[in-house]
Amino acid sequence: MTTGVARKAGKRKETEPRSQERRELILDAAEELFALHGYDGVTLRQIANLAGVDVALTSYYFGPKQELFNAVLERRGQILNDARLEALRAAEAEAAPNSPTIEKIVEAFLRPLEIAQETEDRGWRNYCALIAYVNNSPVWGEKMMGKHFNKLVRQFTDAMQRCFPAAAPEDIFWCYHYLSGALSLTFADTGRIDQLSDNRCHSHDFKSAYDRMIPFVAAGFRRLCSGN
């Protein structure tokens, strides 16, 4: 005989996949709209409409809009952080007992992002465009980039400092700053370079972008941090 507790447990199990599906639909919709219009240009109702759910569910699952914004950044951010750190550790293990070259460190930082942007999952491009927006915002850059990415970035800047042990720390951080700026523009995928180059270059050609960004940034590090 099935007890009331058992029936409730069975019902809960049946609804959990549906609940997770709705959460993902809301996160996907929020990611797309925040990437297109920024935080202030999006309402919870617009997110709910795009997700195809009742607006009350956005608050039920995520709370106020800022918490939903945070959840969007966190969802894919941890995946990227893990992939970049794994690439850095692999480069360090390969170079041991020496430090990896600056090219290898920069490549470990960038290649996982190229792979993400090249995937068929459109959500990754939306996410990268959103990160470009956040990274260039005087409000959200400090609040959100620090929260989700500073720990990882510190591990990379530490590796960069080990690569150039005589470099002044401020030179390391300015070089990282320029790397972050180039990355944000590549994330944004605005099509601007298409116009300027008369379509010789395409902002969605991520392989070409990253293939050039790695030696370009490495040369800047080497010039400022080693004097070569």
Do the beta carbons of residue 25 and residue 53 sit within 8 Å?
A: yes
- The reported pLDDT for the residue numbered 8 is 41
Closest CA relative to residue 108, chosen from 159, 144, 149:
159
**Residue 111: predicted pLDDT:** 94
Mean pLDDT of the chain: 90
Distance CA 33, CA 211 (A): 30
CATH number of 76-226: 1.10.357.10
| Extents of the domains making up the chain | 1-63, 76-226
Residue 176, amino acid: Y
**DSSP of 86-123, one letter per residue?**
HHHHHHHHHHTTSPPPHHHHHHHHHHHHHHHHHSS-HH
Specify the fold of 1-63: Arc Repressor Mutant, subunit A (1.10.10)
Instruction: Please state the rounded mean pLDDT for residues 17-31.
Output: 91
Give the residue among 45, 43, 42, 48 at the shortest CA–CA distance from 27.
48
Confidence check: pLDDT of 17 > 90:
no
pLDDT-derived band at 13 (thresholds 50, 70, 90) equals: very low
Residue type, 192: R
Mean pLDDT computed over 46-74: 95
Confidence of residue 15 (pLDDT cuts 50, 70, 90): low
For residue 179, what pLDDT is reported? 96
pTM: 0.84
Digit-coded pLDDT (tens) for 116-168: 889 888 899 999 999 999 988 888 887 888 888 999 999 999 999 999 999 99
Report the C-alpha gap between 173 and 148 in whole angstroms. 18
Closest CA to 30 of 17, 45, 19: 45
